Structure formats: C-alpha cells, structure tokens
Amino acid sequence: MLHLTEIRTRYCESDALGHINNVSYFIYFEQARVDFMLDTGMVLPSGKFPFLVASLHCEYKKQIYIHQTLTIHTYVMEIGRSSFKLGHEIHDKDSNELLAVGEAVLVSYDLIVQQTTRLTDELRLKLENYVRIKNK
C-alpha cells in the first residue's frame, strides 16, 4: 500500500531562481512522514514521536514551482530490528510526473534512557502493510 499526502507549494518556499528551494523538499518529506505515522496509528496526535531521523536523502528529478499541487507517495522500504526506511516520491498531482525521490531512516528511540529500542510487534505489523517491493 501507499500512503498519500497532498501539499500545495507556497511562495515562501521558493528562491531567487523562481522554483521551490531544495530545502523545501525535505519539509515536504517530513510532512508526509508525520501524516503517515498519524494516519496509520503508529503514533497518536497527542503522543510523542518515539523515533529519531538517522538519515535523509533526496534525488531531485524536476523543478517544482509555486502554487503547484503535489502528491507525496510514502511507503516502507525496509524494516530492521530497531529502525525502518521510508521511501517518498513527490509527484505533480495533475500530471503524476515524478519530481523527486527521497528516503528517510527512522530509529525507534527511548528519550528517557537515551538508547534505541526494538520495534514492537504491533508497529511491525503496521509497517508491513506499507512495504513496497522493488521492481527488478
């Protein structure tokens, strides 16, 4: 399964070149990650996020412009003992053109004891629903 997040770009996210600044892509990925975790029940709206971001990556495919509506596809790429990797694809909502591809590695972390924790069985089941197998 895919999780979808829709975002409309804003003028403040653009730069002097007239397109969306490269930093904004990471903000879009963050919004998609948060929406994914809330919508799947991995975290509650009032709860703490028990994850740390260990790694972020973005591959820019096409420029994005202001007032463009984007659809961000989020899926699970890998599930480890205490971490998982999410994949993100930014598409133009109208044309479905692929604009960027990203990855985020999240680690389950206990902020009180300051150490990683194993993913729970319940969390694994939720993640497994969104695993996307690579095309070969």
Question: Which pLDDT tens digit goes with each residue over 9-42?
Answer: 999 999 988 899 999 999 999 999 999 999 998 8
108-114 mean pLDDT: 91
* All residues at 6 or more sequence positions from 90 whose CB lies less than 8 Å from its CB, including other chains: 25, 28, 64, 70, 71, 72, 98, 99, 100, 101, 102
Beta-bridge partner residues of 7: 70
The 10s digit of each residue's pLDDT in 44-97 is 777 677 899 999 999 999 999 999 999 999 999 999 999 999 999 999 999 999
> What are the residues whose beta carbons fall under 8 Å from the beta carbon of 91, sequence distance 6 or more?
70, 71, 72, 73, 97, 98, 99
Q: What is the pLDDT of residue 45?
A: 75
Question: Over 70: is that where the pLDDT of 104 sits?
Answer: yes
Q: Is 3 left (phi over 0), alpha (psi -120 to 50) or beta?
A: beta
Q: Is the pLDDT of residue 136 over 60?
A: no
Q: How sure is the predictor about 134, in pLDDT bands with cuts at 50, 70 and 90?
A: low
Quickly state the pLDDT bin for 130 (edges 50, 70, 90): very high
